A = this chain, B = another copy of it.
Amino acid sequence: MEWLKEPERHFPPHETLKHFNDGVCVTYIQEKAGLSQSTISTYLTNMEKCGLLISTRHGKWSYLKRNEKTIKEFTDFLT
């Protein structure tokens, strides 16, 4: 969640997409997290299901970005 606040500071640029408008691809997140591909895929899927992330598919890549609306609702609830 923290990394996705500033993708350009935490991830290399995408080869195909020249921007981070839809977030970061699963592979980059997986490599940086240092967990297995299946683990990260499951985590990201769950985080999307519970509304914390937004997933967008471009060709064979899935890009993940923060869902600021739900995140705010959640932190507001915690506060």
Contacts and interface: CB of A to CB of B under 8 A. Distances in A.
Interface class of chain A by DSSP: helix
Question: Size band of the A side of the interface?
Answer: under 10
Contacts of A33: none
Contacts of A79: 75, 78-79
Interface in A37-79: 75, 78-79
A75 B77 CA distance: 10
Contacts of A75: 75, 78-79
Interface of A: 75, 78-79
6 contacts: A75-B75, A75-B78, A75-B79, A78-B78, A78-B79, A79-B79
